[in-house]
Structure 1
Amino acid sequence: MSKRVLAFDVYGTLIDTHGVIAELETALGERAAAFSQRWRDKQLEYSFRRGLMGAYTPFSACTREALEFTDRALGTGLSEGQKDRLMATYGRLPAFPDVAEALQRFSGAGVTCVAFSNGTREAVDGLLSQAGLRDYFDDIISVDEIKRFKPDPAVYSHLRDRMESEAQDTWLISSNPFDVIGARHAGLHAAWVRRSAEAPFDAWGGEPDVTVTDLLALSERLG
């Protein structure tokens, strides 16, 4: 009998990428939130662009390049030491408050859960470990293994290959619409974790199989 696999995106879904704001506030004060959002947007843009160019580099390099760009674009004049501290903070970002309990529910129900990320295995392992989440996952699957980025169809195919799962039994869980659309395009099921009530979904004509506001709600649907 086939077993359902839940593949959880990490950055923005399990881990709050805006958890870096506290460190930013020390240097930038009230400009911290705007800087954080611009940094995150540029980080993803760089991964998309590198994917299209066939110029892969680890996600941490995209993050650093995006930090450099945002500093220049906003004229914030961060020192190299401040940038190094921000990058270090990115390695110990906090989990969203609903995550641990939801993962515990899935684990108790015997659901196969994997972390599925643009980040390298080492980075994701460290991030989940410091957040107290690592033990809830059967494995970590990184795009670094095939040197592609989401939403390249090859990434979702790699997930299935690693898990030896059928498309109909494989679920992508993500707060990022581009990731949800990519998984659906590749034939997987997908749940969108709409962490902001103001967040729109892309008007591409397709919808997630499930939309929830947090992972606790998801555990009631799929646990």
Structure 2
Amino acid sequence: MKKNTVLAFDVYGTLIDTQGVLAALAQVMGDAAPAFSKQWREKQLEYSFRRGLMRDYVDFSVCTRNALDYACLALKQPLEESTRQELMAVYKTLPAFPDALAGLKAAKEAGITCYAFSNGSASAVEGLLQHAGILDYFTGVISVESLQTFKPNPDVYQYLLNTAETKADNAWLISSNPFDVLGALNHGMKTAWVKRSDEAIFDPWGEEPTVVISNLTELVSSVDSHLI
């Protein structure tokens, strides 16, 4: 492993399981919870894309809350304000995926510099990673809030490279989100797509991730095999 390799980990959906909100949703709406969670997450991302294109930045938590309100309307779940606030609070304590700790430990043992790289605010991400017990594995948290835009704006990936004091050839974006992987590829970075489900589809844009892994325990060996 080259010692100057930098790994930038997406947080929501890659290290942290956004479906960790399902238990709380199930207590509120029973069998409707999976569909509601899916709608909530999809709209959260859509709102961040739209805000970025409109150059109308808000904290990612605002996108999350707006998406929650949309899901309530779309799926006819008239939740009380107190319940909505409780669900938003759950987002601050979402669990890490089971393989996250082992994958980060392997990277640290290999001497790789790791950053958390997120659409979320630095304070929110730090709190989330601290709660999940994995914050100490990162050299730092790099948030889009400094630029007031969202992934996959190319400026965000350049900001990552500048902050990490590295070049695209030495930097890897690790993400389960295809839009994020494509954004990093577009900026010349290497990428690892974390395909956690056989049903996951990578956007057919004529570009492919540098490596595809099913969980983070495969990351170090996969990255190492692609270094010259």
Indicate yes or no: 2:170 matched with 1:169: yes
Q: Name the SS of the counterpart of 1:206 in structure 2.
A: coil
Structure 1, unaligned runs of 5 or more: none
Worse-superposed segment, 40-49 or 210-219: 210-219
For residues 57-109 of structure 1, give each alpha carbon's deviation from its aligned partner in whole angstroms, at most 9, with x where no partner exists.
01000000000011011111111011000000000000000010110111111
| Corresponding residue of 2:193 | 192
**Superposed counterparts of 1:201-216, under 5 Å:** 201-216=202-217
Q: Name the SS of the counterpart of 1:94 in structure 2.
A: coil
The amino acid of 2:158's aligned partner reads S
Aligned residue pairs: how many? 223
| Corresponding residue of 1:12 | 13
**Superposed counterparts of 1:135-174, under 5 Å:** 135-174=136-175
Query: How much has 1:146 moved relative to structure 2?
Result: 0.7
Q: Is the 8 A contact 2:16 2:94 kept in 1?
A: yes
The amino acid of 1:61's aligned partner reads V
**Superposed counterparts of 1:25-174, under 5 Å:** 25-174=26-175
Q: Is the 8 A contact 2:3 2:112 kept in 1?
A: no
| Corresponding residue of 1:180 | 181
Stretches of 4+ moved more than 3 A in 1? none
Q: Over the residues paired in the alignment, what is the CA RMSD in angstroms?
A: 1.0
Q: Is the 8 A contact 1:2 1:169 kept in 2?
A: no
Q: Is the 8 A contact 2:211 2:223 kept in 1?
A: no
Q: Distance in 2 between matches of 1:2 and 1:128?
A: 24
Q: Distance in 2 between matches of 1:108 and 1:218?
A: 13
Q: Name the SS of the counterpart of 2:188 in structure 1.
A: coil
Q: Is the 8 A contact 1:171 1:189 kept in 2?
A: yes
Q: Distance in 1 between matches of 2:117 and 2:129?
A: 12
TM-score (norm 1): 0.98
Q: Name the SS of the counterpart of 2:114 in structure 1.
A: strand
Q: Percent of pairs identical after alignment?
A: 53
Q: Distance in 2 between matches of 1:173 and 1:220?
A: 14
For residues 5-56 of structure 1, give each alpha carbon's deviation from its aligned partner in whole angstroms, at most 9, with x where no partner exists.
0000000000000000000001000000100000000000000000000001
Q: Distance in 2 between matches of 1:168 and 1:11?
A: 25
Query: How much has 1:153 moved relative to structure 2?
Result: 0.3
Q: Distance in 1 between matches of 2:211 and 2:106?
A: 18
Query: How much has 1:2 moved relative to structure 2?
Result: 6.9
The amino acid of 1:118's aligned partner reads N
Q: Name the SS of the counterpart of 1:7 in structure 2.
A: strand
Q: Is the 8 A contact 1:104 1:136 kept in 2?
A: yes
The amino acid of 2:207's aligned partner reads G
Structure 2, unaligned runs of 5 or more: none
Q: Distance in 2 between matches of 1:65 and 1:215?
A: 31
Query: How much has 1:222 moved relative to structure 2?
Result: 2.6
